[in-house]
Chain A
Amino acid sequence: MSLFFQLVVSGLTTGAIYAALALALVLIFRATNVVNFGQGEMATFSAYGAWQLMQWGVPLWIAVLVSLAAAFATGIVTFRLIIRPMMDAPVEAIVVITLGILVLFQAACMWIWGAEQLSFPSLFPHGGFSIGDVRVLASAVGTLAILLAIALAMGFIFRFTKLGLSMRAAAFDHTRSVLVGVNVERMLMLGWGFAAVIGALAAILIAPRLFLSPTMMTPILFYGLAAATLGGWDSPLGAIVGGLAVGVAESLGASYLSFIGADMRIAVPIALTLIILLVKPVGLFGSYKVTKL
């Protein structure tokens, strides 16, 4: 039984990272109706930025904060240069474009920093504590705390500030938001910026465990997609619950279903996504789109 709880704890820790990436995906999807397949690679790029700053002698926390700010700018630039001109394109074109973002950032990482794995320091102290037989690492607590902080901050901004209201309005209906004086374009830009920051945070949190490499976030992206699908693509809360659930499912699945093993792990989120889409396409917290005639 203690194995079970141990797996749940480690599942929640990875799940928090999936949740963060899913949150980034959902933010962008809500605002611009785009599934950004390049989200993971944009995040990897930011993590490399933080690593580079540390190589230049910048302290860990400052390097992280600077790279998050840079991620914000990267998100905005990506939106302005790549997505904005294509907003009215058919969905196939947008999919190909976001796949292009994936390739672009991956290639940029490989070009600048090379393909070998780099070690990335953890934000949290080593060690941890035990509850009964279950070992809880400090990094697990820290990761979950950061996810909680992101969730609360997002909830606060979206619910209680004028900026959040404008962003929700812009995401809900572009045309009518313009009519009531919301600067829709700026709101969409901010959405991409925030999403890039959250994604970058996910990459920085997972980098100590996976080692930094240009393809580090590619598998994580599939968990993020599964989490967003599970939670519902229009629900940030759903993304978080979905991320944690997918993390736990992966951790339990890989240990108890022996045929999956280490190399087929990636099949777990994909199978999960497919099942959710077939059984309940809007996810747990999503809402059905109703068209009134």
Chain B
Amino acid sequence: MRDVFLSTAIKFGLFAIVAILIPVSAPAYALQEVAIAIAYAIAILGLNLLMGYAGQICLAQGTLFGVGAYVTAILNATAGDPPLPTLPVAAAVAAAVGLVIGLPALRLQGLQLAIVTFGIAAAFPQLLLKMGGLTGGVSGLPIDAPEMPDVMADAPELWLYLISLACAGVGALLVSRMLSGDGGRALRAQLDNPQVAPGVGGHLTGAGLWAVAASCGRVG
């Protein structure tokens, strides 16, 4: 037990050192790239839960990712909400979409699910174009930069990096909590027939989306 604790502590320690070293040593542009990479990592965390632990093939993870990002973008562009507080809304909507996509998963497995989710992934951009009035069509939506504390004003990349890192931390914590609890045991036990899995995966992805939305907003 002690050993487990020790090795976990070492892992976290190393991780923390790297997490601090990156912003100290990397130039601003690279830092922004790393922030985006971390945002992707959050999405992959959801995929990991879905495929790795629940055994469900979901190729529509990018769709969930996009849904969350667009929720933030639309709220920001039309209602003028600041990006940061829309994060829970984005996560909730992405989770709802995840559940809807997950419903057929009750009946499908393996390759069939792969085919359907691949199709959803392909249809999503078309749907976005179709709803051009809301989504801005091909040119997309402008997003305000996330509001910054004054200390960070001269280093927006660093702020972005910290937000991404915080989101990733929360996401990872949620996943590990979920997997160590009863739900996680059930999830692993149900590896052949998990029913709520895509919805659960969606939750996580949702959490990650906002970071990318913000990143993209900054890049564009």
Partners in one complex: yes
The distance in angstroms between the C-alpha atoms of A35 and B112, with both chains bound, is 9
A284 to chain B, nearest CB (A): 16
The distance in angstroms between the C-alpha atoms of A266 and B123, with both chains bound, is 6
Question: A273 at the A/B interface (Cβ < 8 Å)?
Answer: yes
Within 8 A of A (CB), among B137-159: none
Residue among A91, A264, A266, A277 making CB contact with B116, cutoff 8 Å: A277
B41 to chain A, nearest CB (A): 18
Residue among A35, A261, A274 making CB contact with B111, cutoff 8 Å: A35
Residues 99-110 of chain A, each 1 if its beta carbon lies under 8 Å from chain B, else 0: 100000000000
The distance in angstroms between the C-alpha atoms of A218 and B122, with both chains bound, is 9
The distance in angstroms between the C-alpha atoms of A266 and B191, with both chains bound, is 32
B107 touches A281 (CB 8 A): yes
B201 to chain A, nearest CB (A): 14
> With a CB–CB cut-off of 8 A, which chain A residues contact B122?
218-219, 222, 266, 270
Within 8 A of A (CB), among B87-118: 104, 107-108, 110-112, 114-116, 118
Question: B84 at the A/B interface (Cβ < 8 Å)?
Answer: no
B59 touches A273 (CB 8 A): no
> With a CB–CB cut-off of 8 A, which chain B residues contact A99?
59, 118
**Given the contacts A37-B118, A277-B107, A267 and B123 also touching, CB distance less than 8 Å:** yes
B48 to chain A, nearest CB (A): 12
Residue among B108, B111, B116, B130 making CB contact with A270, cutoff 8 Å: B116
A35 touches B126 (CB 8 A): no
Question: A213 at the A/B interface (Cβ < 8 Å)?
Answer: no
Question: B85 at the A/B interface (Cβ < 8 Å)?
Answer: no
> With a CB–CB cut-off of 8 A, which chain A residues contact B127?
264, 267
A266 touches B111 (CB 8 A): no
B115 touches A273 (CB 8 A): yes
Interface residues of A (CB under 8 A from B): 35, 37, 91-92, 95, 99, 218-219, 222, 225, 229, 261, 263-264, 266-267, 269-270, 273-274, 277-278, 281
Interface residues of B (CB under 8 A from A): 51, 55, 57, 59, 104, 107-108, 110-112, 114-116, 118-120, 122-123, 126-127, 129-130
